[in-house]
Chains A and B, each alone.
Chain A
Amino acid sequence: MSAPVLTTPAPDAVVPGRPTVGQRLTSFMPVIALVVLLAALTVADPGFLTLSSLTAAVRTSAPLVVLAAGATLVVLCGGIDLSIAALCSLATVFFALWLPDLGGLTTFAIIAATGAIGALQGVAHVLFRIPSFIVTLGGMSIFSAIALVISDAGPVRVVDRDATNWLTLYVGGVVPMAFVVALVLVAAVSLVLRLTPLESWIRATGYSESAARLAGAPVDRVKIAAFTVSGACAGLAAVMLVSRNFSGSPTMADNLLLPAVAAIVVGGTAITGGHGSLWRSLAGALVVTLLRVGLPIVGVPSAYEQILYGAIIVAAVALTLDRSKVLIIK
């Protein structure tokens, strides 16, 4: 009945020494990229470095930051979540449909619902031992289908704008509320990870799952939790999108998958798991947003945006991959 699953021989124990110059450089890569991009854009268009355009850029980046931050947890565990964008689209439809009944509670209901859906994917991944990208790829098409069916494949208008109005405010008149929420989210999750054993559990799971399991870390529960947070973040990102677009649509966030994955890997989180952080994804998301906003400023047609995403994903993964861990790249 069973075909063999060959286990890769365990690599020799790598004792972490002092980081090499290359490692130091890659660890600062997102910040360097961010500064270089800002400088380049300012040279190309001196008007770019003004408060209003920076505010606008930061405001656009908020949903991307939230999506990427959530999925970073899954990547840190060594998996991948390809369903975030589709789940986010589904959540925008839910939001538009639920708002008349639930009113002010809709935001929490959405986050709870998407968190539960994320948990479901995590359970499927852990319980049935299905590779995470297959579970989430399957999830992606299931969520898209549900969104299409319940919305009749068209946008659903949100008439009551009060429920999302708070996200469009500006803190101190300058910083967009949506971005503040994204920052608070990243800070809060990072803090929780730091103050609890969660961070070491997640890292251990990512660096070596079998070792973590043998050492007694609750690997399965940690993974499910990561998927739950990833799902909940997709819900929060959906609320942000609705606050800007005043509608829910079954394809609204679909084009955010690639930028979100790009943000994670550009930030320097290793796709092999273990190494990385949410702050890195924040920087990565800002880099991606600047690229997106900046390309037209420099005069590059937006069609190159896709090509650029493809190139930076591959390049960033190549730079950050933990080669000591994977003997055979599939």
Chain B
Amino acid sequence: MTTTSPADADREVVHAGRPRPRRGISLSDAGPPIALVVIFGVFAVLSPDFRTVSNVQNVLDAAAVLAVVTCGISFVLMMGSIDLSAPGIMGASAIAVALLVANNRNDNDFGLFGVAVAVLLGAALGCLSGLALVVLKVPSFMTTLGVSAVGLGVATLMFAGVQPNVTDPMLEGWAVERFLGLAHLTWIAVACVLVGALVQRYSRLGRYAFAIGGAEEVLGLSGVRVAPYKVAVFTMAGAFYGLAGVLVTSQLGAGLVQAGRGYDFSAITAAVVGGTLLSGGRGGILHSVVGVLLVTVLTNGLVQVGVSPYWQGGVQGLIVVAAVAAAVLPQRRRNQVTK
């Protein structure tokens, strides 16, 4: 299979497995932002309601939770693994935080400490999937599917039939109070993105996550003990999901077991659309943020144009399949194994 991009024109002998250093901006890096601008423009033309300032604020606020989830999942995808545990972990942390801050079920009023505990619970569950992957050698989509079920079970146990309504003014305020026109939640998400980008760029964890996705064998042969980093990445992803669960609880004012329903798929969609390869080694937090905005703009825009909100999941399904196909097709080889 020959590729015909200009950068590759000078070597046409074999399809070697090593990329040349990229100069300038390649199409696959520029594609998602261009798509974002185009989609935004199309909806702005189609719908007068879409092109208002308040709607842009809405889009950004609506993107907050998904952005936090996607921060976590991006690191996992960078490693070439997959993570389906977001619904379970978010459910568990949502109920946990609702029960730990001031609420109608018990006398707890731990405030920020409760939030921290919920995030830690998420991290612990994420750590569990990482450990199952590394110790039991179970593929990550299976371990995380299992951990998601465990998280939902834990959430159901804590839920115990009575919905915990949050009365804590701080947590409730996050979703309502605004700073520079955006809800506090959105600023928390921005902080998460910054932290994620810094971890990815400057920490050993982030760089190794990339390297694991690019060539795990090479990393292992170079004497790097890969396993602890894998567990650490899943733990960090779990912490992000935990925080996302807290944010959803703040939005809803109550802890729900289904707090994270569908977020796993939306986050994978966002990351993939943003340019992260499912085979690992490409993409990153900032790519994913573009993906998150794309998904949110699409969701919001379709509703504004008058498409039933029930189609939302279907549209995401279509674009994720299309995006993965678009990313995979150029590298197709005759006897390639796709599982």
Task: Spell out A's residues near B (CB within 8 Å).
Answer: 1-9, 78-80, 124-126, 128-135, 137-142, 144-146, 148-149, 153, 209-210, 213-214, 258, 261, 265, 271, 273, 301, 303-311, 313-315, 317-318, 321, 323, 326-330
A2 pairs with B3, CB closer than 8 A: yes
Most B-side CB within 10 Å, residue of A139, A145, A305, A311: A145
Instruction: Give Cα A309–Cα B148 distance, bound, in whole angstroms.
Output: 10
Q: Could you show 8 A-B contacts with beta carbons less than 8 Å apart?
A: A5-B336, A142-B317, A273-B339, A305-B153, A308-B153, A318-B138, A329-B140, A330-B280
Instruction: Give Cα A35–Cα B15 distance, bound, in whole angstroms.
Output: 54
A145 pairs with B314, CB closer than 8 A: yes
Instruction: Give Cα A305–Cα B229 distance, bound, in whole angstroms.
Output: 31
Main secondary structure of the interface of A (DSSP, over half): helix
Of B137, B138, B331, the residue contacting A2 (CB under 8 A) is B331
Of A6, A141, A273, the residue contacting B217 (CB under 8 A) is A6
Most A-side CB within 10 Å, residue of B139, B154, B215, B278: B139
A130 pairs with B338, CB closer than 8 A: yes
Instruction: Give Cα A313–Cα B141 distance, bound, in whole angstroms.
Output: 11
Q: Which B residues are in CB contact (< 8 Å) with A124?
A: 321, 325
B18 pairs with A79, CB closer than 8 A: no
CB-CB nearest in chain A for B321:
A138
Give residues of chain B (277-298) contacting chain A, Cβ–Cβ below 8 Å: 277-282
Given A6-B214, A134-B278, A146-B314, 6 other A-B contacts at CB below 8 A? A6-B215, A131-B339, A138-B320, A139-B317, A142-B317, A271-B139
Q: Which A residues are in CB contact (< 8 Å) with B132?
A: 314, 318
Instruction: Give Cα A190–Cα B325 distance, bound, in whole angstroms.
Output: 33
Instruction: Give Cα A301–Cα B277 distance, bound, in whole angstroms.
Output: 41
Instruction: Give Cα A7–Cα B28 distance, bound, in whole angstroms.
Output: 22
Give residues of chain B (314-336) contacting chain A, Cβ–Cβ below 8 Å: 314-318, 320-321, 324-325, 328-333, 335-336
Decide yes or no: A321 and B138 within 8 Å by CB, A129-B329, A145-B313 being known contacts.
yes
B154 pairs with A307, CB closer than 8 A: yes
Q: Which A residues are in CB contact (< 8 Å) with B153?
A: 303-310
A330 pairs with B265, CB closer than 8 A: no
Q: Which A residues are in CB contact (< 8 Å) with B217?
A: 6, 8-9, 327-328
Instruction: Give Cα A134–Cα B153 distance, bound, in whole angstroms.
Output: 25
- Distance in Å: Cβ of A70 to nearest Cβ of chain B: 18
B337 pairs with A306, CB closer than 8 A: no
Most B-side CB within 10 Å, residue of A5, A132, A138, A214: A138
How large, as a class, is the contact surface on chain B?
A: 35 or more
B317 pairs with A149, CB closer than 8 A: no
Identify the 7 closest CB pairs spanning chains A and B, nearest first. Answer: A145-B314, A306-B153, A307-B153, A310-B149, A148-B310, A141-B313, A310-B146
- Distance in Å: Cβ of B211 to nearest Cβ of chain A: 12
- Distance in Å: Cβ of B10 to nearest Cβ of chain A: 14
User: Within 8 Å of chain A (Cβ to Cβ): is B80?
Assistant: yes
Decide yes or no: A3 and B310 within 8 Å by CB, A129-B332, A129-B336 being known contacts.
no
User: Within 8 Å of chain A (Cβ to Cβ): is B176?
Assistant: no
Of A3, A129, A146, A321, the residue contacting B277 (CB under 8 A) is A3
Instruction: Give Cα A9–Cα B321 distance, bound, in whole angstroms.
Output: 28
A79 pairs with B339, CB closer than 8 A: yes
Main secondary structure of the interface of B (DSSP, over half): helix
A133 pairs with B17, CB closer than 8 A: no
Most B-side CB within 10 Å, residue of A7, A126, A137, A273: A137
A141 pairs with B145, CB closer than 8 A: no
Most B-side CB within 10 Å, residue of A131, A214, A318, A330: A330
Instruction: Give Cα A129–Cα B146 distance, bound, in whole angstroms.
Output: 26
A303 pairs with B156, CB closer than 8 A: yes
CB-CB nearest in chain B for A139:
B317
CB-CB nearest in chain A for B134:
A329
Q: Which B residues are in CB contact (< 8 Å) with A329?
A: 133, 137-140
A149 pairs with B308, CB closer than 8 A: yes
B146 pairs with A3, CB closer than 8 A: no
Instruction: Give Cα A125–Cα B329 distance, bound, in whole angstroms.
Output: 12
B311 pairs with A304, CB closer than 8 A: no
User: Within 8 Å of chain A (Cβ to Cβ): is B116?
Assistant: no
Task: Mark contacts of B14-36 with chain A using CB atoms, 8 A cut-off: 1 yes-contact digit, 0 otherwise.
Answer: 01111100000011100000000
Instruction: Give Cα A8–Cα B279 distance, bound, in whole angstroms.
Output: 13
Of A210, A303, A315, the residue contacting B335 (CB under 8 A) is A210
User: Within 8 Å of chain A (Cβ to Cβ): is B216?
Assistant: yes
CB-CB nearest in chain A for B213:
A330
B139 pairs with A313, CB closer than 8 A: no
Of A145, A209, A308, A328, the residue contacting B337 (CB under 8 A) is A209
Of A128, A140, A210, the residue contacting B317 (CB under 8 A) is A140
Instruction: Give Cα A318–Cα B129 distance, bound, in whole angstroms.
Output: 13
Of A130, A301, A311, A327, the residue contacting B321 (CB under 8 A) is A130
B3 pairs with A129, CB closer than 8 A: no
A317 pairs with B157, CB closer than 8 A: no
Q: Which B residues are in CB contact (< 8 Å) with A132?
A: 338-339
- Distance in Å: Cβ of B151 to nearest Cβ of chain A: 8
Q: Which A residues are in CB contact (< 8 Å) with B5?
A: 1
Of B19, B79, B335, the residue contacting A3 (CB under 8 A) is B19
Instruction: Give Cα A124–Cα B318 distance, bound, in whole angstroms.
Output: 11
A210 pairs with B321, CB closer than 8 A: no
Instruction: Give Cα A310–Cα B331 distance, bound, in whole angstroms.
Output: 35
Q: Which A residues are in CB contact (< 8 Å) with B299?
A: none
Instruction: Give Cα A282–Cα B335 distance, bound, in whole angstroms.
Output: 34
Instruction: Give Cα A126–Cα B337 distance, bound, in whole angstroms.
Output: 10
- Distance in Å: Cβ of B331 to nearest Cβ of chain A: 5
A145 pairs with B339, CB closer than 8 A: no
Instruction: Give Cα A133–Cα B308 distance, bound, in whole angstroms.
Output: 27
